Amino acid sequence: MAPSPSAAEVVAPAAPSVAAPRDGWPDAPSRLEKLGEWLRPTLVVGLLTFAAGVILGNVLPTRRDLAGTERRLEDQLAENEKLRRRIVDLNAKAARLEKDPWLTEQILRNELKMSGDGEVIVR
């Protein structure tokens, strides 16, 4: 039986040789490497700039708009509550006017400057 070669004796296969491109540019791989050297960082910076623009241009104004909308909503809710109280007061006043003829006469005389039949208003 033949002895098997050890790991140190095993010969690595030869690396394939890079053939020169057919277009006559023998330095094409080095040009691509140089292109890759500046293209990758440029693309990374461009993508980061784009992402920052999207975030700063769209997300932050939306939060600012949301805060303004919330303030307007709070103001509107406060005004609605004030108007509800006024409606309750006016309904109570209308109910009193329906039941109290003396109150109706007082309003007619004082606010509308009306007089009864045969009365003369002296100022």
The per-residue pLDDT for range 47-88, each reduced to its tens digit, is 999 888 887 777 776 777 888 999 999 999 999 999 999 999
Token code pair at residue 47: 């993508």
Token code pair at residue 89: 């007061």
Q: Which residues contact 86 (CB under 8 A, 6 or more apart)?
A: none
pTM score = 0.43
**23 pLDDT more than 70:** no
Q: Give the orientation angle of helix 101-110 with respect to helix 60-99, to 10 degrees.
A: 110
Helix (H) or strand (E) holding 21: none
Which pLDDT score, from 0 to 100, does residue 90 have?
A: 97
Tell me the percentage of the chain whose pLDDT exceeds 70: 76
